[in-house]
Structure 1
Amino acid sequence: MTSSASVPNQGILGLLPEGLSDRLPPQAEASAHLARNVLDTVAAHGYARVMPPVAEFEETLTQRLKSARAQDLLRVVDPVSQRTLAMRPDMTAQVGRIAATRLAAAARPLRLSYGGPVLRLRANQLRPERERLQVGAELIGTDSVAAAVEIVNVAIEALQAAGVAGITIDFTLPDLIDTLAAGPMPLKDAEREQVRAELDAKDAGALVALGASAAAYLPLIEAAGPFHAAMEKLEGIDAATGQGAIASRIAALRAIAKPIGWDITLTLDPTERHGFEYQSWFGFSIFADGFVGEIGRGGGYAILRADGSEEPAVGFSLYPDPLIDAGFGAVPVKRLFLPLGHDAALAKVKRAEGWRTVAALSDTDDGAALGCGHWLDGSDIRPY
């Protein structure tokens, strides 16, 4: 008999690192089902799935993670190569690597999808989990308006297929400040970052304090909110400059918004940069009623080719863990208890009909306790 002194502390055995957790039944199955719904919807639009590894050499990963720093990655030393590995904090960069190397010769535009866990070194207050499920799609080879229209609408359709309603798409223009600063509203290089920071904070007083050049950007704070009203304000700002520097961006956003259904709420925050550091001319965040914070984001960006040049792309990523926690992805399950001596052929038929069978291994097994709502009585199915 094992002495109590030799039994490991049960509390320690149950501990997990901060920000990591188990998914138990039925949430684990709901997670798989929701991800499957999203990926099936994306696949119906021609996106082929790829499955990159959970870790890569640090230098390979960091050179493609434009919005992440090496010190933000969870790293380990590979005992085989003795090189530093980094756990992926995002799958988009990995898909870009695949497109630029293994699929460099594939016809463009190249449509790829993916789904799997990502791991971050640190969490935040809104999302304390460090391991998150990421599901998404990338359209590589173009960042045209047509490509943007497709990617935004596929993202919406994928969420609707997962049962999500009350969707809001919040658009942004990540390169807006650079475009204006290089043209009708000039700023010195050092001023640009200051102006970006105060616009992100919506701090009008701080902008004025920075001087006349920065104060010229004040109207952009007001050009945020419900899409159509905000777009009119943005058009007014562009018209006031007399140069039409952002006319093409405005026309592109209107083209992207036009085919989106009336049941989707559209908003605009043209100067939002947080999380869009590597996006190019447009970006978008996805929100849903009843959830704090975004559940997805996307936009245009560039991937690094093997020769050092860049290739345009658009894509989106969904982070559905909050949806799963709220019950999305759950499906009714019919569980049938099979007593000892049951008809195996009949049980096979019942499984084909959609039942999930749980076979007794002893005469003490209790079907109801094992989660079954019915049991097989000869050839009849009876409820508990």
Structure 2
Amino acid sequence: MPNWLLPENIADVLPSEARKIEELRRRLLDNFRLYGYEMVMPPLLEYLESLLTGAGQDTDLRTFKLVDQLSGRTLGVRADMTTQVARIDAHLLNRASVTRLCYAGSVLHTRPTGLHATREPIQIGAEIYGHAGLEADAEIQELALNSLALAGMRTIRLDLCHVGVLRAIIANDAAAKRDEAQLFALLQAKDVPGLQEITATYQEGTRAALLALPNLYGDISVIARARITLPALPGIAQALDELQALVELAAGHEGAAVTIDLADLRGYHYHSGVMFSAYVPGLPNAVVRGGRYDHVGEAFGRARPATGFSLDLRELARLMPGAERKRAILAPWGRDAGLREKIAQLRQAGEIVIQSLPGHEHDQDEFDCDRALDFSNGNWIIKNLG
């Protein structure tokens, strides 16, 4: 095997693509800052039990594991940064007030999460801790949509769900609660025959509600249909009210089409309230995933309401137009003090100045050198190259 080959679904990022990713990262982090989010940098490795605390089984399966040569304990390479940030909020910051945190960094997956997906995403996200109200969910949803707009996405489909619906349906049915994990998988797959089989022994009302969920998807009218079709339980009413409010807020975002899918329960065991996914043309997978996860902090010994979202910068950058070559100034290589001073002044002013090495005066593939430094009348001046 040639020694330059990389593992499957692992790839180098070349200059033009790397520049797109980095510029997008800076743009999003600067925007997070405008909302009051503070940046944190969790470690790439943690003890496995800490890394998986509060996470679901899917995170365990996606996590690379290895043995620490210093302690002999099992380490995990992070597959998701959300629980790490929750740990930072719960233990290191330990604030009583509302805390807004953001992050950006590589994560590693044992398997790709979708068609053509990389196993080394660059994850960026934002989280709010300490507020259980719908206002935090609304802010996170707005920030997620604005992030896609900053990446140039003009057509966005926002898909909303709420785990409170399923939990309210099965709360008073012991058989249904026993089969919760199986119900979750069948609903996510919209496997109606499987649902019919597993619910045969359930209470009549529970069975009817579960069989109705796979068909409760579509535009905002789904909420009204759900109020008629599903049992009049307080938990269901609260979940539908929250979805209604968030749909109305998202509808005001230019280019966003909002859909409801009450059976789309990805991350069901991880989340505790509203969940959302965002889709854009050109990608088969959701480009943004987010929602409320109030119970993760409990696993770290400090219960904190929490909601947030994350996205993969590499995947999103692939949809953006190719980066234009940056304008630059070409300068000769030399020891002249005036030349070095002029180059330093231009770079301090934000100009890209490339000193051409002898014999390589025209090797500037990634830059458009439309100007050059020229020595004239005892001064170094900028000359247009046409």
Same fold (TM over 0.5): yes
Q: 1:215 Cα shift?
A: 4.2
Q: Which residue of 2 aligns with 1:138?
A: 127
Aligned-CA RMSD value: 2.5
Distance 1:34 1:376 in 2: 31
Distance 2:253 2:178 in 1: 42
Distance 2:374 2:5 in 1: 43
Q: 1:39 Cα shift?
A: 1.1
Among 353, 359, 367, the alignment partner of 2:362 is 367
Q: Any residues of structure 2 matched to 1:81-92 within 5 Å, and which? A: 81-92=71-82
Q: Which residue of 2 aligns with 1:233?
A: 225
Assess, with a 3 A threshold, how the Cα gap between structure 1 residues 262 and 95 changes in structure 2: closer, same or farther.
closer
Q: Which residue of 1 aligns with 2:313?
A: 320
Assess, with a 3 A threshold, how the Cα gap between structure 1 residues 328 and 114 changes in structure 2: closer, same or farther.
farther
Contact 1:222 1:233 in 2 (8 A): no
Among 67, 77, 95, the alignment partner of 2:67 is 77
Distance 2:175 2:355 in 1: 73
Q: Which residue of 2 aligns with 1:223?
A: 216
Contact 1:208 1:215 in 2 (8 A): no
Distance 1:216 1:186 in 2: 15
Amino acid at match of 1:41: N
Q: Any residues of structure 2 matched to 1:20-169 within 5 Å, and which? A: 20-68=10-58, 70=60, 72-104=62-94, 106-169=95-158
Distance 2:54 2:233 in 1: 35
More displaced, 44-53 or 246-255? 246-255
Assess, with a 3 A threshold, how the Cα gap between structure 1 residues 243 and 24 changes in structure 2: closer, same or farther.
closer
Q: Which residue of 2 aligns with 1:300?
A: 292
Q: 1:170 Cα shift?
A: 0.5
Assess, with a 3 A threshold, how the Cα gap between structure 1 residues 124 and 318 changes in structure 2: closer, same or farther.
closer
TM-score between both structures, scaled by the size of structure 1:
0.87
Distance 1:80 1:209 in 2: 51
Assess, with a 3 A threshold, how the Cα gap between structure 1 residues 306 and 371 changes in structure 2: closer, same or farther.
closer
Distance 1:223 1:283 in 2: 16
Among 189, 193, 196, the alignment partner of 1:208 is 196
Indicate the SS of the match to 2:14: coil
Q: Percent identity?
A: 30
Distance 2:235 2:296 in 1: 26
Assess, with a 3 A threshold, how the Cα gap between structure 1 residues 71 and 243 changes in structure 2: closer, same or farther.
closer
Q: 1:243 Cα shift?
A: 4.0
Distance 1:254 1:247 in 2: 10
Contact 1:334 1:373 in 2 (8 A): yes
Contact 2:16 2:322 in 1 (8 A): no
Assess, with a 3 A threshold, how the Cα gap between structure 1 residues 116 and 85 changes in structure 2: closer, same or farther.
same
Amino acid at match of 1:347: I
Amino acid at match of 1:268: I
Distance 1:98 1:192 in 2: 31
Assess, with a 3 A threshold, how the Cα gap between structure 1 residues 279 and 237 changes in structure 2: closer, same or farther.
same
Q: 1:161 Cα shift?
A: 1.9
Among 361, 380, 383, the alignment partner of 1:381 is 383
Among 299, 303, 314, the alignment partner of 1:310 is 303
Distance 2:24 2:189 in 1: 35
Indicate the SS of the match to 1:334: strand
Assess, with a 3 A threshold, how the Cα gap between structure 1 residues 328 and 214 changes in structure 2: closer, same or farther.
farther
Distance 1:153 1:197 in 2: 29
Q: Which residue of 1 aligns with 2:162?
A: 173
Contact 1:100 1:304 in 2 (8 A): yes
Q: How many equivalent pairs are there?
A: 368
TM-score between both structures, scaled by the size of structure 2:
0.87
CA displacement 1:155-208 (0-9 Å, x = unmatched)? 11122122222111111112321211225x885333444433332222333333
Larger relative helix fraction = 2
Contact 1:174 1:272 in 2 (8 A): no
Amino acid at match of 2:54: R
Distance 2:299 2:177 in 1: 30
Residues 1:279 and 2:271 are matched in the alignment: yes
Q: Which residue of 2 aligns with 1:265?
A: 257
CA displacement 1:256-295 (0-9 Å, x = unmatched)? 2222225211111112122343000110011112222111
Contact 1:286 1:294 in 2 (8 A): yes
More displaced, 94-103 or 62-71? 62-71
Q: Which residue of 1 aligns with 2:378?
A: none
Contact 1:176 1:271 in 2 (8 A): no
Amino acid at match of 1:200: Q
